[in-house]
A = this chain, B = another copy of it.
Amino acid sequence: MTESLDRDRLAAWRTYIEASQRLFTRLEDDLRATSGLSFADYHVLVLLSEVPGQRLRMGELADRLVFSPSRLTYQVSSMQRRGLVARQPCPQDGRGSEAVLTAAGLLALREAAPHHLKSVRTHLMDDLDDAEVAALTRIFSRLGRRLRGADDSDATLATAPGDN
């Protein structure tokens, strides 16, 4: 009995990962072709654009992107070279620095977004009915919550989870 459940779940997993992988490469290709941005570039721009002051500490950015420090440094430096972000020393903490969205970065995002979102709709969202959208949201918001927690929890297992 658990057997057949496992079979279904395994099949679900394979289906999900295979299609997702295909989807992501497709979307990244589209994004690169229409805007010259990588997924990571785009993601950084989105994150910065949504936050007050359009700026984030490097560490914060690294956490959200799940990037190692030096990888993040590389990513931001690359975007800085292309004028998409700037780097500023952090006022509160002399060690830190912040990545700040530039006007050019915002423009790049505004230009890229319509194409990218269209691509997302075409390849994925337009095919889903409302119930499926709801299921997707439910499944992955739970998953995201768990994984975000799990990252800290290695160091914070004691710090009572708390239900946000």
Contacts and interface: CB of A to CB of B under 8 A. Distances in A.
A27 to B, nearest CB: 9
A133 B9 contact: yes
Nearest to A20: B20
15 contacts: A8-B137, A9-B125, A9-B133, A10-B117, A12-B133, A15-B140, A16-B137, A18-B144, A19-B147, A22-B143, A23-B143, A23-B147, A127-B146, A128-B139, A135-B139
Interface string A105-138: 0000000000001001101110110111111111
B8 A148 contact: no
A21 interface: yes
Given A8-B133, A25-B66, A139-B136, A124 B13 contact: yes
Given A66-B22, A143-B23, A147-B26, A15 B137 contact: yes
Contacts of A25: 66
Interface of A: 5, 8-13, 15-26, 66, 117, 120-121, 123-125, 127-128, 130-144, 146-148, 150
B147 A22 contact: yes
A103 to B, nearest CB: 24
A6 to B, nearest CB: 8
A26 B24 CA distance: 17
Contacts of A134: 8, 12
A22 B148 contact: yes
B144 A9 contact: no
A109 to B, nearest CB: 14
Contacts of A127: 142-143, 146
